[in-house]
Amino acid sequence: MGEKRDPVGEKEIVEKFQALRSEREDLASSLYARGADLQEHEVVIRALQPLEGKRRCYRLIGDVLVERTVAEVLPAVQHNRDQLSEVVKSLKSKMEVKQKELGDFQAKFKIRMRGEGPQEPSPSPKPAAANASQGVLVGSS
């Protein structure tokens, strides 16, 4: 994990680039899911706030639906929302760092994705085996 050496060959560069993209996509997916959870908590809080504190409500804890009062549930949901908000902030920060790392790596090794930037004309289509890099172009230094 503490490996910080630069990749040597084109294959290593492509693998490292794809790993960075995968990490970024994992962060984005997690950020999206936690953001959706946060929005759901906001909806529940808005629905519970105007209700009387001793009114019955039901809360799903794990796989068990339990009966509680609004006064018991609302603070717990607000606490969970606050924790989710911190997680979302942390994920956004990690996402920005990973995006910068990916951009720096891309610039350092002159990597372009198909459809990005100026394209050099291709004289003839290449066979499928030549496309093993999965759309990643690596420029020589």
- H or E element at residue 69: strand 64-69
Q: Which of 26-30, 37-41, 89-93, 107-111 has the lowest mean pLDDT?
A: 107-111
Q: Give the alpha-carbon dihedral of 11, 17, 23, 27, to 10 degrees.
A: -160
Give one word for 62, left, alpha or beta, with left for phi > 0 and alpha for psi -120 to 50: left
Residue 130: pLDDT over 70: no
Residue 18: pLDDT over 90: yes
What confidence score (pLDDT) does residue 133 get?
46
Strands 56-61 and 136-138, by their bridges, are unpaired
**Distance between CA 139 and CA 108 in Å, rounded?**
9
